[in-house]
Structure 1
Amino acid sequence: MNRPTGSIRSIGLLLARVGIGAVFLAHGLQKLNTWGHAGTAAAFDTMGAPLPDVSAYLATWVEILGGAALIAGLLVPLAGILLAVDMIGAILVAHIGNGIWVGDGGFELALALGAGALGLAVAGPGRISVDALLFSRARGRLGRVLAPAV
């Protein structure tokens, strides 16, 4: 089977980045604006998260900044890995004991988001991204490491 090339691949990556990034951004903003740090930390404590104050802070900001980074296509490999790790933590701390179905408090959404974020980290941002603007001219080693699929 032929792989999508050029514009089709970049449009597909753009749509995936915006969709996944928007969900992460919304969840992070919910933690910040709806529940606040104290409410998020209290919920994390109830779930048995290690260092709930620190975990709540990290989860909130990884989701906000990581989601925004995916949408913009900025440092996508780094953002994708951090978001995937965030979802591994969510699965292990909050969802694993509830089975797979999200309606039962399960891990299906966290798994899908984490896998999507990891996929973007590996695939890269595509040509329609801030990474492409920043690193397309930097053909040196740094450009290949930070934005390998541009």
Structure 2
Amino acid sequence: MKRQPFNDLALAVARVVVGVIFIAHGWQKLATNGLDATSQGFAGMGVPLPTLSAGLAGTIELVGGIALLVGAFTTVAGIATALVMFGAFWFAHLGSGVFAAEGGWEVVGALGAASLALAAAGAGRFSVDGLLAQRSQRSQRDVAAPATEREHADV
């Protein structure tokens, strides 16, 4: 039973939803709240090097979110955003239980797990990574075809 079209569609939906969430949070850290306010918040949570950490977290969320959204460099983007979510879990949510309404880790846990799943599964066919893979396969076939034709011509 071949489920590839469904798998590709499911990966695309997951990438778009997770990507939009990361873009929104990265934009919030860097532009809406601003780096100064985000750094102060990080300092209050005990995050080491809060200005650097806030800039990195916001940039990884924004750029990683864009990459996930379009399905480019999905493995790298997925791992990077998962690491940021681990940091959020560790510094901001660890002692607060599960539920987000109580400051818990459910949202960062879900986003981190989704990021890791996308890193492992790949972006799917409906993505920049998928288009590049298809183009590469066509190029490899085009290079291999003349050699095969030469072998048959020698017979």
**TM-score, length-normalised on structure 2?**
0.85
Cα distance, 1:16 vs. partner?
0.3
Counterparts of 1:47-126 in structure 2, within 5 Å, are: 47-126=45-124
| Structure 1 CA distance for aligned equivalents of residues 86 and 134 of structure 2 | 32
What is the aligned residue count?
137
| SS class of match (2:25) | helix
| Partner SS state of residue 135, structure 2 | coil
Residue 137 of structure 1 aligns to a residue whose secondary structure is helix
| Alignment RMSD | 1.1
Give, in angstroms, the shift of residue 79 of structure 1. 0.2
User: How far does residue 107 in structure 1 lie from its aligned partner after superposition?
Assistant: 0.5
**CA apart distance, 1:84:** 0.4
SS at match of 2:104: coil
Structure 1: which 4+ aligned runs deviate by more than 4 Å? none
Provide Cα deviations, 1:10-47, integer angstroms capped at 9, x if missing partner: 00000000001111110111111211010100000000
2:147 equivalent in structure 1: none
- Hey, what does 1:13 align to over in structure 2? 11
The alpha carbon displacement at 1:132 in A equals 1.2
CA–CA separation in structure 2 for the residues paired with 1:107 and 1:59: 17
Counterpart CA distance in 2 for 1:30 and 1:137 is 36
Amino acid at match of 2:58: T
**Deviation, structure 1 residue 87:** 0.3
Task: Provide structure 2 residue ranges, at least 5 long, that are not aligned to the other structure.
Answer: 138-155
What is the Cα deviation at residue 134 of structure 1?
1.7
Structure 1 vs Structure 2: percent identity of aligned residues?
A: 45
Indicate the residue corresponding to 1:130 in structure 2: 128
For structure 1, which runs of at least 5 residues remain unmatched after alignment? 140-150
Whichever residue aligns with residue 84 of structure 1, its letter is: A
Which residue matches 2:40? 42
Bigger share in helix: 2
CA distance in 2, matches of 1:74, 1:39: 30
